[in-house]
Structure formats: C-alpha cells, structure tokens
Chain A
C-alpha cells in the first residue's frame, strides 16, 4: 500500500541549506563564508577564495552521493561543476541556487538536532559525537534529552555530557544547542539539524550543513519565512489540494472536509480508480464563501488533463445543500451570466466577486465531464431540474455514488 499524495507541506516547509544558514547566522551559530550562486556568471564574481565547495540547494538528502556537492579549486573547474549541478535533478528537484562555501578542515564531526516529538508532546534534543555521512555509526552514538520542562541551558549541557564531551567542548557545543533552541522556539520549527557540526582541535566549531523544517500550521505567522518556502504551495492559491496523480488521474474529488475526501479516496482506490486529486472547501474560509470556492474548484478540476468524472461529496445543513445545488445549476448555465440587478434578489449565500464565470467552451472536451454529487439534505429538485439535460448524477448514498463514479471513469468517452 503506497501513499498517493505528496506530503505537500512536508516538502514545502523545509528550508534550503543556505536559508537555514542565514537563520543560523542571525542567532550566532557559526557558518562559513559563502555566496549564493544563481547563474554561472556569478562564479566569475566569487568573493570567497578557492578552494571552494559548490553545493546544490535542493531539499532532498544525499546530495553528496549523486554529485550534488563538488570541491573546486579554480574558476574554470567551478564553472564546469556549477553547470553540472544546475542540470542535476535530485529527487526530481532542480536547484535554483548553488551555495559556494569556503573549504573547512575539521578534526571531528558532530550531529545535533532538535525535533518536536509528537508522541512525547515535547521537543527533544538529539546529539551524536559521530556525525557525518556514516549514518549507522551516527545513530549508534545518538543521545537524547527530552524537554519535559521549559528549556534551560543546563539541558544542553546535559546532552553534551551524554554525548561524551569533556572540557571546553561541553560549553561550546551546548552553546550551539542553546542557539538552535532559540531558533526552534521563535520560528515554530518542527526540526532543526546540524550535520555535521565541524569541530577543530582548538575547540572551534562550524555548522557545515543545516536543515530546518518549519511547522506547517505555524508558517503563516512567519511571513518572512513563508516567502522562502516552496513556491508550489502558493499562498495565492485559495483552495487546499490533496494531490494525487494530477497528470493522468481520471477522477477528481471536491469535498468540504478532509475526512470526507480521505474516505472517498480510499473507496475509489480500493476499486483501482485513478485519482487526480481532491479539492477541500472550507466552511469557514477567511476570504471566500463556499459557493465561490465551489466555482473555483470546478474551474480547477476542468484544467486537469485526463479528467473523466468529478465526485462532489459535501456535507452540511439543508441550507448548505441547497446553496451548493443552486451554485451548480448556475455554474452550468450555457452562457455568461448577465450582470443585472436580478442577481441580487436571489436568496443565496453567494456574493458576486464581479467575476465573469468562464463559459463552457464548445470545443472543450470537458464541457460534459460527468459529475456525481452527494448532498444529503435539502430540497434539491428545483436545481436538479435546471441541469437535468447534463450528465449530473445526484445521490445521497455514498455506496451508490462511488459505484457511479467508478463506472463513469471506466466508460469510454
């Protein structure tokens, strides 16, 4: 059993290394001199001395193993390496930025992280004196301190001592952990990780890599950080998606709760239905009435290339059901609605945004994409009548709706 949906927020709320390091710098975690490279030309204006490490800025791990991290000694090599890196997709992500960093010789490497543990309902400090690429050894030496109380510096010292550190390193490393925690708290992080923290024999430490993931519920209260997160999760996109196989999915869902969407999704997949995705309407959306969300959702569904059927499963009061039914009847009027005063007298919850609804294009194959609608209450007949000529199937039984959806998706159009 595989997970169909992209963990849309898991990926999008991860910062890139150079962004994480910018935040490190703000709280005083030492980082190397570096420069972000957006195109090859910028390499000619490098202001850090060679040798330099060029690092692909992508969210996936394991960059080193696939050639996403290269050591270069001069401009010519640098340009060649950067070129290769810009063209190297790692887990389907092409870098838009390369980080050029000064070289650093460390004698040891530590691993440090702070993770929000949802099971323990606490942040957890994690550390290993064997940081770096050898994951097995790293994990074998992993120590942890659970923050059941509010954080204080002694918790960080506790971690350092557990890690086996002695002498000055205890204070040096716990100082880094304190700063990491400050960031963790102030930026609502789920994870902050430094691997490796380079350590020199003289006690100097350096964050050689950085990973930060911001909690997706909290991101909206950090508008500056929001700008950094993956632009695919477009703040301008007013509707929430559960994305399946957008490119070749044949079935689209429109629901007004995640639970309904998940439930319908499971039922369809059990019968091998091919889902493009689900749009989730919110009853208490800050900007859009349900009806307007519905219209947007239908527009978006019609953009899906292989769509064969839409299933709308919307739960609510009789009033909600009737409003939805009316919205559907209006949406499928075969012409642009006139902007007459007549619209104001209808008792709907819809407020016109002054937006012309796009007419069903005659040459669009999606003109007659069948829709199966599940509404369980209300007097829907007047609206059902209006669209009786169209392939719209109304049923309050979930079992029947799923069967209809699957058979419509199967049928040859």
Chain B
C-alpha cells in the first residue's frame, strides 16, 4: 500500500450518520480529503467537502484519487468498491463491517486482478500521527512516537492508544485490519511494513485469541520479525469468531461432535508463547511492557533467546 501525507482521499457513503463527523476529523488532521460520494446528494457539501453522485465525477473533478474510505451500508459495499476500482482508485479502506463473506470473496478476487489494495472490511483505517488519518480512528488518542500498532480489534484500539499516549509512548504508525471474517490484508503484510519502517521501534499487536490470523502472525513474528513485539489479546473468555480452522476440520468437528482438546484460544496463546511475544492480560500494563522493550539492547539473536 502506498500513502503520502498529500495522498488524495475520497469518502464514499458520506451520508452515514457519522459521515460528516469523520470527514471533518480527517480534514482537520491534515488528510487531503477531497470529496465525498453519496447517491442523490451530488452538489451538496457535507463535512466541508463537495459531494458527488458518482465516484467517477469526483475523479473527473480532482484527478487521480489515491485512496477511498468506504462507509456504505454492508450490503452496498461490494458495489461501492467495484465502482471505486472502475474509477481507478487503487487503495480501498472498508470501514463498514458485516459485509457478507461471498461479497468479500468476489471483491478480493477482483482486487487481485486489478492490483487494488484492500484494507478491511470492518477496518477503522490507517493513521500516521501528525501526518495522515484515513478512516475513523479517534485522532485525539494518538501522538507521534515509536510504537507501531497493528490492530485486529475495533474501537478498543483508540482506548489502548490513548493509554500509551498518556504514558508518553507515542505511535509511529497505526493500522486497523478489520474485524470481519474475511479481510483484505493480513498481519504479515503490516508486520513487514513496520519492520522496515524507520520510525517504528516496537510493534504492538492487538488481536483476538481465537483467530487464524493471530496464530499465523505469531509464527511470522518468530521467523521474520526482529523488532520487539508486544501483544494484547481481547476475548479469551468470550469469543466472537466462529470460523476458526479450515473447512475439513470444521466438518470433522461437527460430525464427530468432539470439541478439540486444546481450544482455539489456547492454541493462539501457545503460539504467542512459542514465539516469545510477551502478551499481557491487563491493558494498563502495556506502557511498562513497551518501555521495557524500547530500552532493551537492540541486537538480540532470536534463535538463541
């Protein structure tokens, strides 16, 4: 994914109840939010930006648009995304959650052939403190610093970030992957981005402990990430993800009505332990864990530790 502080951004579905609020928040933060799209509202102004009926009209007026934030209702997201792709927008941030998985599959396949980057669905977006906020993250919770955050949680991200900010631990980069079952980009891609980002010294991974993505992330961190990673996993006792495991396993479990000896929550936690990623059960301990990680000498041989 490519972003610059002056990337041009579109907001689709700006008629969302909080659309104008999000638009203003992004603009005030310095994002180049150039226009909004909402069928039937062409010609109006919402959140201080001009609104168009069609994405193409916005592109026609403002030239190439780099990113779009999609707020449309869940069942209209596929269509909104296809419209954006057809208009040449290469980076889609889908904030709407509850997009039907078959729609997402359709979209992800189209995105692959058109080389379009998808964040979400159910994402709160991406934020680079003091430079850019594309999405719905609460900007007041963030400040500039050395902690890169990759989140698979929802608004909890803002809450945790604020605690860090208040403890003087600002962020270098924040990305919200999206809470839906099928999402565009995964932990690995962003872990690599943060590994290469000069501003980031510590990576904070916020996730849910019964998700395939988190388990794969832990393995990836063990093998490919040198920077220290700290984790917080919300949902050890109450789980939301119902789709853990591959199809054969799901059927096998259902047929034998045997519940696996180690449940998915434990599997995820074990994966993090094996990867030597400190995971805290108490969010208020994150600042001290992060400070410890920041103060550690940087040359640590992962294989021998």
Contact = CB atoms under 8 A, between A and B. Distances in A.
A118 B181 contact: yes
Contacts of A190: 101, 243
A2 B264 CA distance: 10
A316 B138 CA distance: 8
Given A3-B263, A61-B255, A263 B242 contact: no
Contacts of B18: 283-284
Contacts, number: 161
A265 B238 contact: yes
Given A188-B102, A259-B155, A399 B237 contact: no
Nearest to A268: B237
B237 A1 contact: yes
A62 interface: yes
Interface stretch (B190-198, B278-286, B296-304): B278-286
Interface in A23-64: 61-62
Nearest to A184: B102
Given A4-B237, A142-B248, A275-B238, 16 more contacts: A1-B265, A9-B242, A119-B212, A120-B247, A188-B102, A190-B243, A191-B250, A215-B101, A220-B75, A221-B100, A260-B155, A262-B238, A317-B138, A376-B159, A376-B162, A399-B282
A171 interface: no
A244 interface: yes
A266 B236 contact: yes
Given A118-B212, A221-B100, A398 B158 contact: no
B116 to A, nearest CB: 15
B237 A113 contact: no
A79 B2 CA distance: 69
A143 to B, nearest CB: 10
A119 B246 contact: yes
Given A258-B154, A263-B234, A284-B18, A118 B101 contact: yes
Interface in A118-147: 118-124, 126, 135, 138-139, 142, 144
B180 A61 contact: no
Interface of A: 1-5, 7, 9-10, 61-62, 113, 115-124, 126, 135, 138-139, 142, 144, 185, 188, 190-191, 193, 195, 215-218, 220-221, 242, 244, 256-263, 265-267, 269-270, 275, 278, 283-284, 315-317, 376, 397-399
B16 A284 contact: yes
Nearest to B256: A135
**Chain B binding surface SS class:** loop
A242 B238 contact: yes
Contacts of A123: 105
B108 interface: yes
Interface in B261-299: 263, 265-266, 281-284
Given A217-B100, A256-B155, A315-B159, A265 B237 contact: yes
A1 B101 contact: no
A270 B251 contact: no
